Structure 1
Amino acid sequence: MNTTRNPFIRLDPLDNVVVARMEVPAGTPVPSESLVTLHDVPSGHKIAARFIARGEPVMKYNTVIGFATEDLPPGTWMHSHNIAFGDLEKDYRHGMDYRATDFVPQAERATFQGIVRADGRVATRNYIGIFVVGHGGATVARKIASSFDAEALRGFPHVDGVVPYIHEQGAGMERSGEPMDLLRRTLGGYIRHPNTAGALVIALGDEHNDLDDFLAHQRLQAGPMLKTLNIADAGGTRRAIAAGVELVREMLPQAETARREPVSAEHIMIGMQCGGSDGFSGLSANPALGAAMEILIRHGGTAILSETSEIFGVEHTLTARAVTPEVGKKLVARIDWWLDYNKGRDTQINGRVSPGNNAGGLANVLEKSLGGAKKGGNAPLMEVYRYAEPVTQHGLVFMDTPGYDPVSATGQIAGGANLICFTTGRGSCFGSVPAPTIKLASNTPMYTRMVNDMDVNCGVVIDGDATIAEMGERIFAQILRHASGEATRSEAQGVGLNEFVPWPIGVVD
């Protein structure tokens, strides 16, 4: 780390707080702000850069993140104990700040080694999936998948694996309506995903999510690379496992024919996630990922911003640059749904962040949202999708999801994301299949501590050793490598087989 740098970071000339690069003891002079710290300040936390009167807005990145609960002298440690969450008046400016993307000419676009499917879609991985319409088939699915270990797949080097997709829904729930539609849309999205070479769909036989109804609902037809298995009809668990193993063996030769070839980066679709955020996430990893996404979008690719409850308070920055007013209003409608759904509940959209986020320096959801929205850079917002809907629009889009990472990423992958980029400041062990996860650390100490789980160290921005723009270039180059088949840290450790979590919205019967 460059130790000659100011221990605090000023993010905008109009801010009335600055952010600590490291732990700073009380009594430390801050010449750039002409003040002395009045308290010990944890790394990633804020201090008042000038006198802030009670009730005055607290400004970070020249954006309101709350209101002072008391008169605060310069040098005061600023956090949830003296920053109140309040109502904001937001000017949505639907589409008024839209600026068209300056695309890289087709012949000059970056390329990666992708797998081109027969219908022209491009994959980054090549899996066979074992799916269940309800939790009753979980054991059979896991047993079938476990039969195809590295030794069993030795003769199929171009198949990345046989993986089970287990969930706890499909029975004991509403038989129709939004919850069932959402589950079916999620399962259908994974089955149709470019990274899924073949699929086996398993039913116990009495699920509310009936196998035949599910296939009809999703317009899926059984065939050489989409097979079905009814456990009861097969004669029970043992016979169903044996039958399932044979069905997968029938699909392996066709899956093995997949080969990589140079394709345009326009076929990369990134699902963006942040989890275990800290005070540095919005200063390094998130804006650096945003810079990388701006590059990807100029090359024709797609970036999916999600976690609706975690853009609350800054959604007007997205609606203002929406391609049309109608797209901006779609986003506001989803925010309104969440506010109504969480009315009176002790949840994040009502102000509180997780204990880890809070310890990392985030006072409330406004501050977290401010950093989280930076993952999309400054690209125009082209479309808004509901959870797990197929994403067909290129550029920056938004998908309505919860903030919980496994549920959110599951929706993005169901929508077509063939890579996930996951920023974190506190640390994460998240992984995903069939679309792998690239993890980006916001600070160097955490990256060093969890080096076997982190793919990119964006902490060099905080250390003063790289700019946001430079990190964006590095991240984009690494995305191309992982899209071409280079294993991510989570893939190398076998992480991702338990992170398939469809959104469990609705009534439990």
Structure 2
Amino acid sequence: MSNEAELRGYLRSDGRKGIRNVVVVAYLVECAHHVGREIIANFRGGDVHLIGFPGCFPNEYAQKMMERLCTHPNVGAVLLLSLGCESFNKFSLSRIVAESGRPVQTLTIQNNGGTLSTIEDGTHWVSEQLDALAGAETVPMRLDELMIGTVCGGSDGTSGLTGNPAVGRAFDRLVDAGATCIFEETGELIGCEEIMAARALTPELGDELRAAVDKAARYYATLGYGSFAPGNADGGLSTIEEKSMGAYAKSGSSKISGIIKPGDIPPAGGLFLMDVVPDGEVRFGFPNISDNAEIVEMIASGCHMTLFVTGRGSVSGSAISPVVKVCANPDTYRKLAGDMDVDAGRILEDRATLEDVGSEIVDLIKDVARGKLTKSEHLGHREFILTYKSFEPIGPACLPSAA
């Protein structure tokens, strides 16, 4: 696949390039959420995205995630909204954003006259930033500078036959071109650990892959339930292993270059597994309370866009980075065509092959990177959710390509 400069991106100070140039409004506690909603309501249809952390108590994972999100390549400016008495370290976050070269402003509601005056001041600041970003220039961008994530949700019996393997074909082509691809999640890969270990770049990485899946199995056993929903059964899936094989298919067939955790940025191109299950004792409940949480973690690790495979259907999008929805089930596509970007269910009806749909996905990725809006972007979907978690740093065996 040609790697010529066929895309355009917004160059950031760390050398990464963004495919969007959005203004982020970030609330640092739930008490500031309403003010954020009111500010972005003044920019309906504009590139102003609301994100935030609802908790009042500190959490290293949430701090890291917000730092990564606010300095994502697709972000051009950041407004931070604080109530004033929360424990989130807004000073550190503001400093990190400023050091990245992005304009940043912090408004503290308790010191800023309350709700109405903070909305007014925030709206004025965002308007100024939109005017400034409107004239931003782009630079050439290659396919090997893209980072693409994939998740699956609302899975059914068709997901592992069409949508997931079609994304796997697209991933193989992207990895061959030098791009970075990330798949997840260990709780939906139970039973696939040996197959993944055989694809690991090194034996040591293979051991880490096994350990990550074992951790997920223990975590879910402690909770008393796993990543298998009634909707999965209604859609024709029978066991977590069957669901896992379908979810695994979206990783393609390339060598696995490493394991990362949410907020870790892969050091080079290749295929990476994201381990989203918290480390240590079960403290914060279900690892990902919705598909949106998984997408946010992909974005925090640098993904320019996320491929979302669904059989039963989803209408989710995301703040900051586009979501491309790949529909596995032809009946679902016919019902929800206005929300779906790719009809992978054509494969079941002999209207396309896996290779056809894989190529279509790669072409769509290029178009989205050039500025084409996905269905969720066009509809205004900007879902976002961030909760408490706890992770330990990854070990050297997890990233052999960085050694």
| TM-score in terms of structure 2 length | 0.88
Q: Structure 2: how far apart are the matches of 1:301 and 1:113? A: 15
Which one of 174, 186, 199 corresponds to residue 65 of structure 2?
186
| TM-superposed deviation, 1:205 | 0.7
1:391 maps to 266
1:35 maps to none
**Letter of the 1:123 counterpart:** G
Describe the SS at the equivalent of 2:346: helix
List, as ranges, runs of 4+ consecutive aligned residues in structure 1 with deviation greater than 4 Å.
107-110, 213-216, 218-224
Q: Structure 1: how far apart are the matches of 2:223 and 2:101? A: 47
1:294 maps to 172
CA contact (8 A) 2:63 2:89 kept: no
Q: Structure 2: how far apart are the matches of 1:295 and 1:368? A: 24
1:259-274 → structure 2 map (5 Å cutoff)? 259-274=137-152
CA contact (8 A) 2:157 2:236 kept: yes
1:500 maps to 384
CA contact (8 A) 1:279 1:360 kept: yes
**Inter-CA distance 219–206: structure 2 relative to 1 (3 Å threshold):** same
1:278 aligns with 2:156: yes
Which one of 27, 40, 45 corresponds to residue 145 of structure 1?
40
Q: Structure 1: how far apart are the matches of 2:28 and 2:264? A: 18
Q: Structure 2: how far apart are the matches of 1:449 and 1:343? A: 36
CA contact (8 A) 2:52 2:386 kept: no
**Letter of the 1:141 counterpart:** G
CA contact (8 A) 2:52 2:66 kept: no
1:379 aligns with 2:254: yes
Q: Structure 1: how far apart are the matches of 2:44 and 2:223? A: 45
**Letter of the 1:256 counterpart:** A
Gaps of 5+ in 1: 1-103, 151-159
1:254 maps to 132
1:317-396 → structure 2 map (5 Å cutoff)? 317-348=195-226, 353-396=228-271
| TM-superposed deviation, 1:312 | 1.3
Describe the SS at the equivalent of 1:342: helix
Which one of 17, 22, 28 corresponds to residue 133 of structure 1?
28
Q: Structure 2: how far apart are the matches of 1:109 and 1:319? A: 33
Which one of 432, 439, 443 corresponds to residue 318 of structure 2?
432
Provide Cα deviations, 1:183-239, integer angstroms capped at 9, x if missing partner. 0111111100011100011111111213225446x5755976112111111121112
1:120 maps to 15
**Inter-CA distance 424–293: structure 2 relative to 1 (3 Å threshold):** same
**Letter of the 1:438 counterpart:** V
| TM-score in terms of structure 1 length | 0.70
Describe the SS at the equivalent of 1:114: strand
Q: Which stretch shifts more, 110-119 or 481-490?
A: 110-119
**Inter-CA distance 137–253: structure 2 relative to 1 (3 Å threshold):** same
1:456 maps to 342
CA contact (8 A) 1:283 1:371 kept: yes
Structure having greater relative contact order (Cα 8 Å, sep ≥ 6): 2
CA contact (8 A) 1:130 1:201 kept: yes
1:422 aligns with 2:308: yes
Q: Structure 2: how far apart are the matches of 1:223 and 1:441? A: 39
**Letter of the 1:190 counterpart:** L
Describe the SS at the equivalent of 2:337: coil
Gaps of 5+ in 2: 277-286, 391-403
**Letter of the 1:451 counterpart:** A
Q: Structure 2: how far apart are the matches of 1:299 and 1:167? A: 36
Q: Structure 1: how far apart are the matches of 2:216 and 2:388? A: 15
Q: Structure 2: how far apart are the matches of 1:119 and 1:504? A: 28
| TM-superposed deviation, 1:432 | 1.0
Provide Cα deviations, 1:257-295, integer angstroms capped at 9, x if missing partner. 224454211122111011111111111110011001111
Q: Structure 1: how far apart are the matches of 2:312 and 2:199? A: 31
**Letter of the 1:234 counterpart:** N
1:206 maps to 85
**Letter of the 1:139 counterpart:** H
Q: Structure 2: how far apart are the matches of 1:381 and 1:463? A: 32
| TM-superposed deviation, 1:444 | 1.4
CA contact (8 A) 1:383 1:393 kept: no
Q: Structure 1: how far apart are the matches of 2:107 and 2:187? A: 38
CA contact (8 A) 1:115 1:123 kept: yes
Describe the SS at the equivalent of 2:385: coil
1:400-411 → structure 2 map (5 Å cutoff)? 400-401=275-276, 402=287, 404-411=290-297
| TM-superposed deviation, 1:337 | 2.9
| TM-superposed deviation, 1:249 | 3.0
Q: Structure 1: how far apart are the matches of 2:10 and 2:98? A: 22
1:471 maps to 357
**Letter of the 2:10 counterpart:** I
**Letter of the 1:210 counterpart:** N
CA contact (8 A) 1:327 1:383 kept: yes
1:158-197 → structure 2 map (5 Å cutoff)? 161-169=47-55, 171=56, 173=57, 175=58, 180-197=59-76
Structure with greater helix share of residues = 2
CA contact (8 A) 1:117 1:194 kept: yes
1:446 aligns with 2:332: yes
